[in-house]
C-alpha cells in the first residue's frame, strides 16, 4: 500500500529521479528552480504543505506526485485562495488506484480546486467526485508544418523569422502597463483569478518566460514559448480583447513564429476571449477536460484562462 504524504526537501533526490524517469531527463518538473518558484516564491504558497507524493514504503522511494499552484480568486464576491492541481503522475507499476488516492488527498481541506487538462480515465474520477465540468475552448494552430516535421524527426530548430506586428512585443512591461493589464483581467464576471501587481509579476515575470502583445489597456495577450514533446510551442495563456476587430490573433501567430515556435496552443474558459477566438479558428473536437471542485457542490459561473493553471510552465527551460 502506497503512502500519500507531503513532500519534504529530504526527498528531493528521490523526487527528481521520479520526475526524470517519467517526464524526461530535461523536464522542468525536476528542476529546483521550478519547485522554489512554485512553493517558496509564490506569495500565496503554503510553505509548510507544498505538494503530495506517493511513496513505496519498502524502498522508501517516490513513485507518484500531484503538484498544486495556489492563486487568489474572487468566488461568490469573496477573495479566496484556490489551488490548481496539476502534473498528476504515478509510476506505471503503481497506477491501480493511486491516482485517485492522490486526487482525493489533494482535495481534502480545500473549498475550491481547479483541475485543468484532465484526460480519461481520470476524467471519470472527477465526475464521480461531482466536480463542475467547465466548458472550455481548446485550439491548436500549426504555424509551420515543415518546421514541425524538421523538429520532430531531425531535431532541427526553426530559425526565427521576423514578422510585422501591429501590437508591441514586450518582455518587460512597465508598472503602468502591468496595472492596466491586472485591472482588465479583473473585469471578469463570476469567479476569476484576482490579479494584482505582486501575483502578476510572480506568475509571468519571475518564473517561466513570457512575452506580452500590447495594443492598449483593453487589448493584449500573454504568451509563453517553450519545448514540449520535441517541438517549440507557443501558448496563449491569458489576455483581454475588447476590440472584436483586433489583429491580436494574427499578431500572436507572427510573434510565435518569430520566436521559433511551430505550433500555437491555447485554451480559454473566459467569455471575453472565447468569442474572439471562435471567430478565427476551429476549436479542437477532442481535447482534455477542465473541472472545478467546490466543497459545497454548487455550480458557479467561472471565467478564467490557462494562466490559472500550470500551462506554459515548459518555458522554464527557455530562461
| Alpha-helical regions (H) of 119-239 | 122-128, 145-149, 175-185, 197-205
Can you give the pLDDT at residue 296?
Answer: 97
Q: Which tens digit of pLDDT belongs to each residue from 247-295?
A: 999 999 999 988 889 899 999 999 989 999 999 999 999 999 999 999 9
Least confident range of 51-55, 152-156, 217-221: 152-156
- Full DSSP string of 208-275: S-EEEEEEETTEEEEEEEEEETTEEEEEEEEEEE--TT--HHHHHHHHHHHTT-SEEEEEEE-HHHHH
Q: Which three cell numbers stand for residue 12?
A: 528531493
3-134 and 137-287: identical CATH topology: yes
Q: Rounded distance, CA 185 to CA 120, Å?
A: 31
- Work out the mean pLDDT of the chain and round it to a whole number: 92
Please indicate whether residue 147 or residue 282 has the higher confidence score (pLDDT): 282
| Domain 137-287 -> CATH class | alpha beta
- Say yes or no to pLDDT of 160 above 60: no
Q: What is the mean pLDDT of residues 204-232?
A: 93
Angle at 211 between CA 147 and CA 188, to 5 degrees: 115
Written as nine digits, the cell of 24 is 524526461
Higher pLDDT, 162 or 184: 184
pLDDT above 60 for 153: no
Evaluate if residue 197 carries a pLDDT over 70: yes
| Percent of the chain with pLDDT strictly greater than 70 | 92
pLDDT given for residue 316 in this prediction: 84
Given a cut of 90, is residue 227 above it in pLDDT?
A: no
Q: Which of 160-169, 197-206, 227-236, 248-257 has the lowest mean pLDDT?
A: 160-169
What's the Cα-to-Cα distance from 35 to each of 22, 47, 141, 240, 307, rounded to whole Å? 17, 11, 31, 29, 17
Please say whether the structural domain 3-134 has been given the CATH code 3.40.630.30: yes
Q: Percent of the chain at pLDDT above 90?
A: 82
Residue 79 has pLDDT above 70, yes or no: yes
Q: Would the pLDDT of 118 be above 60?
A: yes
- Which pLDDT score is estimated for 154? 47
Q: Are 178 and 168 in contact (CB under 8 A)?
A: no
Nearest of 273, 300, 272, 292 to residue 75 by alpha carbon: 300
What are the domain boundaries of the chain? 3-134, 137-287
In tens, the pLDDT along 9-34 reads: 999 999 999 999 999 998 999 999 99
Cβ neighbours of residue 72 closer than 8 Å, sequence gap 6 or more: 44, 79, 80, 81, 82, 193, 194, 196, 199
Could you tell me the three cell numbers for 130? 461531482
Give the predicted TM-score (pTM) of the model: 0.92
C-alpha dihedral (66, 26, 255, 177), degrees to nearest 10: 50
Amino acid at each position: 500500500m502506497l503512502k500519500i504524504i507531503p513532500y519534504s526537501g529530504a526527498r528531493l533526490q528521490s523526487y527528481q529521479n521520479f520526475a526524470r524517469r517519467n517526464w524526461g531527463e530535461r523536464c522542468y518538473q525536476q528542476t529546483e528552480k521550478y519547485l522554489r518558484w512554485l512553493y517558496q516564491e509564490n506569495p500565496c504558497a503554503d510553505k509548510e504543505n507544498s505538494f503530495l507524493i506517493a511513496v513505496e514504503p519498502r524502498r522508501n522511494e517516490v513513485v507518484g506526485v500531484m503538484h498544486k499552484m495556489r492563486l487568489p480568486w474572487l468566488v461568490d464576491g469573496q477573495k479566496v485562495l484556490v489551488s490548481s492541481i496539476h502534473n498528476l503522475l504515478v509510476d506505471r507499476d503503481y497506477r491501480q488506484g493511486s491516482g485517485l488516492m492522490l486526487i482525493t488527498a489533494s482535495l481534502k481541506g480545500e473549498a475550491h480546486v481547479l483541475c485543468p487538462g484532465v484526460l480519461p480515465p481520470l476524467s471519470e474520477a472527477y465526475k464521480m467526485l461531482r466536480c463542475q465540468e467547465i466548458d472550455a475552448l481548446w485550439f491548436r494552430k500549426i504555424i509551420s508544418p515543415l518546421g514541425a516535421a524538421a523538429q520532430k524527426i531531425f531535431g532541427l530548430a526553426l530559425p526565427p523569422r521576423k514578422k510585422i506586428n501591429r501590437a508591441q512585443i514586450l518582455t518587460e512591461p512597465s508598472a503602468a502597463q502591468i496595472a492596466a493589464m491586472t485591472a482588465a483581467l479583473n473585469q471578469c464576471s463570476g469567479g476569476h483569478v484576482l490579479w494584482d501587481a505582486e501575483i502578476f509579476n510572480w506568475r509571468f515575470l519571475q518564473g517561466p518566460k513570457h512575452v506580452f502583445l500590447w495594443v492598449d489597456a483593453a487589448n493584449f495577450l500573454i504568451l509563453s514559448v517553450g519545448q514540449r514533446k520535441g517541438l517549440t510551442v507557443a501558448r496563449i495563456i491569458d489576455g483581454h480583447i475588447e476590440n472584436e476587430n483586433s489583429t491580436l490573433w494574427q499578431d500572436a501567430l507572427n510573434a510565435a513564429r518569430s520566436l521559433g515556435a511551430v505550433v500555437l496552443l491555447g485554451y480559454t474558459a473566459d467569455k471575453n476571449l472565447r468569442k474572439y477566438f471562435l471567430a478565427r479558428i476551429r476549436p479542437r473536437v477532442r481535447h482534455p477536460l477542465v473541472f472545478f471542485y467546490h466543497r459545497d457542490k454548487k455550480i458557479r459561473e467561472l471565467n478564467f484562462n490557462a494562466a490559472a493553471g500550470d500551462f506554459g510552465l515548459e518555458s522554464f527551460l527557455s530562461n
